[in-house]
Amino acid sequence: MSKNKLIFAAIIAVVLLIVGTGVIFEWFGPPRTIVLEFPGPAGANLVGEIDVDGVIKTIDQKLPAKFEFQARRLAFALVATENKVHQHLQIQIQVDRQFFLGGSATGVYGEVYAPILFHRLRGTAFFQQNDSGKIR
């Protein structure tokens, strides 16, 4: 084999090793700590659903509330009610104890994606107003 072919094969092998390591780390690496905080209004009921890496959990809790999950993907649809009237809901999202997104709405639907590699570049989060309290 010529010298150029050996160099090319070595470069391809190194690239495949780096890409393979990244893929394995993303699939089998540790999940992120995602925290959803809802500070108020105190005493209102927070109802809805949270989808944690494909597992849906039903929520029925008094405000203020704080939920902590070990996950990579999170979807949520929550509504605060008091005496059957929708209340203004504040939300703060943290990933690995660092502020990621915050805001408020009457009811919220949102998603958080927190990958292992290049989290600050590839991670996304959003929420929008939604009074249904259902993810799907």
Give dist(CA 132, CA 40) in Å, integer. 19
Q: For the segment 60-112, what is each residue's pLDDT rounded down to a tens digit?
A: 999 999 999 999 899 999 999 888 888 888 999 998 888 888 888 888 999 99
Residue 1 has pLDDT above 70, yes or no: no
Domain boundaries, the chain: 1-30, 31-129
Contacts of 114 by beta carbon, 8 Å cutoff, 6+ apart: 32, 34, 71, 72, 73, 74, 95, 96, 100, 123
Give dist(CA 71, CA 115) in Å, integer. 9
Cβ proximity of 95 and 32 under 8 Å: yes
What pLDDT sits at residue 33? Answer: 92
Contacts of residues 29-33 at CB distance under 8 Å and 24 or more positions apart, as own/partner, are 29/116, 30/116, 31/70, 31/71, 31/72, 32/70, 32/71, 32/72, 32/95, 32/96, 32/114, 32/116, 32/119, 33/68, 33/69, 33/70, 33/94, 33/95, 33/96, 33/97
With vertex at residue 114, the alpha carbon angle to CA 54 and CA 68, rounded to the nearest 5 degrees, is 70
Q: For the segment 3-60, what is each residue's pLDDT rounded down to a tens digit?
A: 888 999 999 999 999 988 888 877 777 888 999 999 977 888 999 999 999 999 999 9
Highest CATH level, class, for 31-129: mainly beta
